[in-house]
Amino acid sequence: MPILAEGLPRKTADPFDYGSGNINPTGAADPGLVYDIDPRDYNKFFGCTIVRRTNVSCDATMLPAYHLNLPSIAVSELRRPVTVWRTVTNVGEADSVYHAEVQSPAGVMMEVEPTVLVFNTTDRVHSFKVKLAPMWRLQGDYTFGSITWRKDQKTVRIPVAARMTIQDFYADVA
């Protein structure tokens, strides 16, 4: 039987309801790759100026949240092709090669470049780009996929959510 989401109306659970995976304490102690983010990146995103802890001023930004280097990608209005960058740091074995496995969200063409990340003692940080493009012109709901970086038995997975849209719904902007 499928997992049902809490609340009303009852519906089949999706990744927003149950998260991106299982908790694995052993895997968390040796993750292989991490998606580092500096707190100042949040300041750039939110347009914040911090003078003192009590004097913080933030301006609205037009920058979509998917530009933050988070271990997930969510594009809420996929009307035309979008390119998203992610940067990973190898915190595992120095000489490591990870291969990308792409599971595209339904109705979305997703490409990852490069598909192979080669790490060594001098190259511990690599960036990759993810291109997302709607396959159809329709107003849809979120669909889900993932990008998994594999090295032998180690896997590093990030969820991808995309919602194709043609126009804004009044309820979304009111």
Rounded mean pLDDT for each run of 10 residues along the chain, 174 residues in total: 79 78 77 87 67 62 81 93 96 95 96 97 96 89 94 92 79 52
Q: Does 108 lie in the same domain as 43?
A: no
Last residue of a domain, one of 51, 68, 85: 68
DSSP the chain: -PPBPSSSS--B--HHHH-SS---HHHHHS-SEE----HHHHHHHHTEEEEETTEEEE----S-GGGS--SSEEEEEESS-EEEEEEEEE-S-SSEEEEEEEEPPTTEEEEEESSEEEE-SS--EEEEEEEEEESS-----EEEEEEEEEETTEEEEEEEEEEE-SS--HHHH-
pLDDT for 112 equals 98
Domain around 86: 70-168
Q: Does 91 lie in the same domain as 163?
A: yes
Contact 156, 37 (CB under 8 A): no
pLDDT for 133 equals 96
Confirm whether 14 is domain-assigned. Answer: no
Confirm whether 18 is domain-assigned. Answer: no
pLDDT for 49 equals 60
pLDDT for 42 equals 74
Confirm whether 107 is domain-assigned. Answer: yes
CATH of the domain at 128: 2.60.40.2310
Pairing mode of beta strands 73-78, 154-164: parallel
